[in-house]
A and B are shown apart, each in its own frame.
Chain A
């Protein structure tokens, strides 16, 4: 019978441990259990058989670590033999049994944090799925600690087989995955991916797992399963052992089986056929309950969940180049630093979700959107709203997004729904639905509501639940129609109260063409929240908008003890006081006072052109600090505080440039910097980058773990005369030497400076560097000399 036909009819029992059993039969330390599928197939088969005889329903194949990274080659053969050994035991059993193709973690961390590319992880799992799908009844992705890795495995399973997919994870005692996700985030993300069974395994023993299973059950609309260890592993005389007895294990497991929504249980490390025999006796009789649909609307990052509908949330609108010269420039020049700082400052201002839009005709939007979203997820734990009108950009970005995003947007046009809904169904996401269609934006609330109803129905035909739709009643400019705001608000109220859906609105459109737009925006925002707005797309750096937000939440009983309101009010009160102390720019930079430096630069701009400010104020200040550092009277943190202050002042001056018509910036000297291949330590390189930029050099930062060929390619393309390389470890200095050799051979016109903890002058000479920088200022001085 089909596994799915049996699932939900009765409590199903997974088998117990394979590894522990193999160890008892002589598996050596460090030996891969999967190799026994070939070396001792009868032993593996006997273990399966003993679990079949214990009365289990599902056998896990002995293929947990059978990926090309761990095994080298032989994946197909070991996976196939693993599946057929379990199949044989299942088919010979005296009751109906199923075979789960077992896949564990790759053992590597995924990029951008780690060094395994998303698509490479996908390929590792794909190879296992292709080898094992015939003969298996389901795919079990287990013992996972990283949501992102789970996503590659689930995509590989679903794109290369029709088998049901079960995923179980390992949480710590604080209820977090190893990469920091909480239980709700994991559940929401996996449901978005359309996983058939969500569960827990390994980790804590059955007693420790129970509260986590209960928490999962609170959020999950998907059936659950739990395969705990026989207690926590303990080390006795150098041997790992598990102490929970079969009877105690089975008793504890029964408590888990009785949780609403749990449809299968079994064992993990340390459990034996004896444990599972008891478990079958005690748990098989537990009746299962139907799954209750949990009707909350949520989006996630890799780490946390943001829920819509409880109190209004803020979606930061700043990462969108429309009408923003500075961001446009940053996107065109690949200046991720500016985009990052927009993300961080919006988060600090109170945004819950960040909108990301990179739509510029000059850009390859699909590539840039995916890269930007991936990079942003490396520095922020806020969920993102993927904002694009390009289906291709959306598809590429949804594929690599870590979590369940907001998708901005679909509308009532047939073509739009045909593009967006299949993507939302496949990758998961809450979809922003604009109430417009082929005939444009209706003037009336009734017209917009009709479109909303059409979108709702169409979404359901794609299997997308109502809770995953967030409707936008569209804010029209009030200056072109006195009733425009009223129509939006009426639509909003109907959507929320009658259609019972979540809502979102780009608030600031309403005030186009009017003076002091912030006043109108803030008032409209408050009205919208009162009429049922779940999420406002606004500028969180606008005090008026945030004041309106905090006041609204305080007034509506949505702010416990007025904590958020008071925190916001206190912030606003103290910030100007600290800055108001009249500090001139030069002093501010010397002392490393960032806010004062910004204010100082702003003030000077009224009377002095930006270039003159740089020449007469910033550079002398930086020089003073730099000399102090070289003389040993100023230390690294002080040098860096000054550098950060100067950089903030430069940002202010840059917008001064952007405001003036085409101020031709003096041709900058370009320098390529990189942490060499194999090295993941980039703090030293980042310090050098900031200092060089402050001294007016244009720095092309290639990041960390950069292959020699890439350094050469960029250095040649950009015609740079100086490359800076950093390496922290002795082992990666070799890679530095290779990079230097390649550059000297292929591009001898270029000089190379090096730095890093293990380097010395002598070492640098031996690997052929042109200059050894003993500290961050050294690189600035060398660059000055070279370009003078």
Chain B
């Protein structure tokens, strides 16, 4: 798994064209080695049935999800995948250990590298799926997760009923529907017979003041 360092730097507050100093680079490098040693990436996906019930109701695998944004997102799709991936509990433990031992800088670096790692891991997995599906004439839509737009985070509970996430890859939900290990992703992925024209997510996001927005200076 490739960890994109520039992505990690973005999470650490480095906006476009700001370069880290040698000591920060060394910190990232050292932390990355320690992080990679504890990663136990796992993933699972399966296809589910997809039915549009109304403009804000979509039935996926027999369960109804209410979200206008999800519906829009899936507008060209006639198939859908349920997807989940995690880096495992080791990353969280490492971050906790750093913080506990007074290595706050490393904790923050591991946090950022971990966030970059899970995104990169999901992208790699999706690229593999895309390659397979393109042979069948299908194209992947970007990942859409519970908590995006008007799809409430509580949709996680139904998502977890449809996909055996806890048993298969060890991701559990807290009472507030957050995932543990924290470096985990669940998502719906639409499959359509036309290539995606989706632009990078940051540019389509309405939050132009976001500190982590890409491409801003």
Contact = CB atoms under 8 A, between A and B. Distances in A.
Contacts of A626: none
Interface stretch (B20-28, B116-124, B134-142): B20-28
A180 B88 contact: yes
A678 B174 contact: yes
A-B residue pairs, 6 tightest by C-beta: A178-B170, A30-B161, A678-B176, A340-B100, A640-B105, A344-B101
A636 B176 contact: no
B178 interface: yes
A156 B174 CA distance: 23
Given A179-B89, A636-B12, A337 B102 contact: yes
B170 A115 contact: no
Contacts of A294: none
B42 A680 contact: no
Interface residues of B, number: 58
A640 B209 CA distance: 24
B104 A640 contact: yes
A235 B46 contact: yes
A592 B96 CA distance: 21
A748 interface: no
A229 to B, nearest CB: 11
Contacts of A344: 97, 100-101
A731 interface: yes
Interface in A174-194: 174, 176, 178-180
Given A108-B173, A179-B170, A730-B153, 18 more contacts: A107-B172, A107-B173, A170-B167, A235-B47, A238-B47, A337-B100, A340-B100, A344-B101, A592-B23, A636-B108, A637-B28, A641-B23, A644-B104, A680-B182, A681-B182, A683-B107, A686-B107, A690-B102
Contacts of A686: 99, 104, 107
Given A180-B88, A760-B209, A638 B24 contact: yes
A235 B93 CA distance: 33
29 contacts: A29-B62, A29-B161, A108-B172, A109-B172, A113-B92, A114-B172, A114-B174, A172-B40, A176-B40, A178-B169, A180-B89, A235-B45, A237-B47, A238-B61, A340-B101, A341-B100, A344-B100, A591-B23, A635-B13, A637-B12, A637-B108, A643-B104, A678-B176, A680-B178, A686-B107, A687-B104, A705-B174, A729-B176, A760-B209
A107 B102 contact: no
A721 interface: no
Nearest to B174: A115
Number of contact residues on A: which range applies?
35 or more
A648 interface: yes
Of the listed residues B90, B92, B172, the one surrounded by the most CB atoms of chain A closer than 10 A to its CB is B172
A233 B28 CA distance: 38
A532 interface: no
Contacts of A235: 45-47
A591 B21 CA distance: 11
Given A180-B88, A678-B175, A641 B27 contact: yes
B48 interface: yes
Contacts of A687: 104, 108
Contact of B166 (A107, A337, A648): A107
A172 B42 contact: yes
Contacts of A336: 100
B125 interface: no
B166 to A, nearest CB: 5
Nearest to B153: A731
A179 B108 CA distance: 23
Contacts of A460: none
Contacts of A378: 93, 96, 100
A542 interface: no
B18 interface: yes
Interface in B51-69: 61-63
B85 interface: no
B209 to A, nearest CB: 7
A67 interface: no
A649 to B, nearest CB: 11
A521 interface: no
A533 B47 CA distance: 59
Interface in B61-118: 61-63, 88-90, 92-93, 95-97, 99-105, 107-109, 111
Nearest to B79: A238
Contacts of A635: 12-14, 18, 20, 24
